[in-house]
Amino acid sequence: MNARILFVCLGNICRSPMAEAVMRHQVEQAQLSDRIEVDSAGTGDWHLGHPPHEGTRKLLDQHQISHQGMKARLVTSNDFSAFDYIVCMDTNNLRDVRKLLSDTDGNREHARLFTFMELLPDKGMADVPDPYYDGNFSFVYELVESGCKELLKRVRSDMNLN
């Protein structure tokens, strides 16, 4: 059994590509790249085809995490059947993804759909803040790194890889 994870944010240039890169890095370190695939997408189309935001790239570079070849794309109805986990970076993204799902054939849903901060209940936050607006990429990176560790534990458990 393999697992596919999709991270979703608004424009797919800050939070979700950061989570994609960090999760991919953690999966590689766990030597599970042949079993776990990671991607990201956005609910808005403003940045389609663009690389991650400079602030995201800078932090990933500082942590020696690759963002090579990443380009913003839209979440699609096909993602519901293609991915096992769809992790939304905030509650607005979750609402938008659920709306897209309700506009498609509901029989195709099999992804586990939840918000990223559900992985970090002790933080008492519903949403990963959007650094596009506040510039706090370092804080977002800390959340993403911790949340991805928790998600990897969950996926490993679901796949009986503990």
Residues designated catalytic: 9, 15, 130
Alpha-carbon distance 68 to 87, whole Å?
21
Count the Cβ atoms, other than its own, within 10 Å of residue 26: 18
Q: Are 97 and 16 in contact (CB under 8 A)?
A: no
Alpha-carbon distance 125 to 90, whole Å?
10
Strands ordered across the beta sheet of 85-88: 36-42, 3-9, 85-88, 112-115
User: Radius of gyration over alpha carbons of the chain, in Å?
Assistant: 15
Instruction: Give 88: exposed, middle or buried? Use CB within 10 Å, 0-12, 13-18, 19+.
Output: buried
Alpha-carbon distance 16 to 53, whole Å?
11
